Amino acid sequence: MCILTMKILPDHHTDAALIAKVKNGDERAFTQLVKKYEQTVWGFAFKLCRDKQKAEESFQDTFINVFRKIDQFDSRSKFSTWLYTIVANNCLMHRRKRKLDGLLESFDEAPDVENSEVQKQLAAWDDSPIETMMNKELRERMDAAIQELPDEYKVVFVLRDLEDRTAEETAKILKLSVPAVKSRLRRSRIFLRHKLHDMMTA
Amino acid sequence: MKHSRSQTKIHVHTLSCGKVYEHLCDNLDSKLDSEACRRIKAHIKGCKNCSALLDSLKKTVYLYKKYPAPELPEKSRKKLFAVIRLDKSKNRAAR
């Protein structure tokens, strides 16, 4: 009966049961919660930071925050949305300390790259399977390209395209409007495409 | 609804590449069957530039999806639980 119930219940119901136990000080429930979401948090943190050590710091900070602030979590919301919010805030906070705010403003105000892109004749990208093209040189180029994106853009690209969150959920996580999410995603995609273009057409 | 060859041709010319671009970037894998989507699809079919752009945008996203992420280090997991235990014992002592 129990197993059947577990299978039919939507994910947020099983999360709610676990969270209720964690709120009551159940350490085993917290361990279960960490096990369930550790890959999500780790993967998201790594994709945002692109650095193992910083991703580890973010992983630690996120779950410590979850443990300390679990009472503030409203069980009517999706737990994963709350988790993504914490990781994003952690990563953005770490990086804001080192970055100049001017970068975001200049990216926001820059004319869309697309206007120039669509007007010129575009060379088609190599048709080889992507897996065979993934070498060290390409990875380094991809790392450099995504690191050039302002964090506020990168986090939208990672949530929408790599974590497959909807525009609405991404907007909720980042406290942005849906049109702002769409605009940042559009600019991020075209920026990254532009940065990889010469390697993919050579 | 299927379009005849002449209808498709009209659609190609009534949409600008800029508009198609905007739509492509918002909905790379859109399977919506709205009138707007049909017009976009018809445009892409007849426009080499937009077709190349769509393909390269899809490949960009796919490349980042396929970028290998390292495994979560075991020491990181252990460290987390050590900090949590310390946190709990501090809380108990404070009560």
In this predicted model, what pLDDT tens digit does every residue of B49-84 receive, in sequence order?
Answer: 888 888 899 899 999 999 888 889 999 989 998 888
Q: Note the pLDDT tens digit of each residue in A73-110.
A: 987 889 999 999 999 988 777 665 555 455 566 666 65
Categorize the per-residue pLDDT at B85 as very low, low, confident or very high, splitting at 50, 70 and 90.
Answer: confident
- Return the CATH fold of A2-96: Rna Polymerase Sigma Factor; Chain: A (1.10.1740)
Per-residue DSSP letter, A10 = -
Q: Which residue has the higher pLDDT, B94 or B58?
A: B58
- The tens digit of pLDDT for each residue in B8-19 reads 333 344 467 777
Domain extents in chain A: 2-96, 102-201
Q: When comparing pLDDT for A93 and B45, which is higher?
A: B45
Is the Cβ pair A142, B64 closer than 8 Å?
yes
pLDDT value at A57 more than 50: yes
A21 touches chain B (CB under 8 A): no
Tens-place pLDDT, residues A184-201: 998 899 899 999 998 888
Nearest CA in chain B to A35: B77
Whether A197 contacts A122, CB under 8 Å: no
Assign domain A102-201 one CATH number from 1.10.10.10, 3.40.50.720, 3.20.20.80, 3.40.50.300.
1.10.10.10
* Chain A contact for B53 (CB, 8 A cutoff): yes
Residues 6+ apart with CB under 8 A from A191: A113, A145, A148, A149, A153
Q: Which residues of B touch A48 (CB under 8 A)?
A: none
Run of H or E residues at A161: none
Cβ pair A19, B73 in contact under 8 A = no
The secondary structure of residue B45, as a DSSP letter, is H
The ipTM (two decimal places) reads 0.81
Question: Do the chains contact at B21 and A42, CB–CB below 8 Å?
Answer: no
Q: What does the DSSP 8-state code read for residue A97?
A: T
Return the residue of A nearest to B91 by Cα.
A68
Q: Residue A189 is nearest to which of B57, B66, B72, comparing CB atoms?
A: B57
Least Cα distance to A93 among A63, A58, A66, A69 occurs for A58
pLDDT at residue A169, rounded to an integer: 95
The pLDDT value recorded for residue A154 is 95
Sign, CA dihedral B7-B9-B14-B17, equals: positive
Q: What is the mean pLDDT of residues A144-170?
A: 94
Write down the residue that tokens 């940065």 correspond to.
A195
Under the banding of pLDDT at 50, 70 and 90, the label for residue B7 is: very low
Cβ neighbours around B53 below 10 Å, total: 25
pTM: 0.80
Token pair listed for A143:
């790392």
The distance of Cα A43 from the centroid of its chain, to the nearest Å, equals: 8
Among A42, A130, A190, the residue with its CB nearest the CB of B25 is: A190
> What are the φ and ψ backbone dihedral angles of B42, each rounded to 5 degrees?
-65, -40
Asked if A134's CB is within 8 angstroms of B87's CB, the reply is: no
pLDDT for position A6: 45
- Confirm if B44 and B20 have CB atoms less than 8 A apart: yes
Q: Which of B28, B67, B81 is nearest residue A142 as measured by Cβ atoms? A: B67
For A182, the closest of B17, B26, B77 (CB atoms) is: B26
Whole-angstrom CA distances from A32 to A1, A3, A35, A62, B18 are 21, 17, 5, 15, 49
Residue A106 pLDDT: 63
Count A/B contacts: CB-CB distance under 8 Å: 109
Q: Do the chains contact at A186 and B25, CB–CB below 8 Å?
A: yes
Is A65 a residue whose pLDDT tops 60? yes
Contacts of B77 (CB under 8 A, 6+ apart): A34, A38
Q: Which tokens is A14 given?
A: 């099983």
Q: How confident is the model at residue A156 (pLDDT cuts 50, 70, 90)?
A: very high
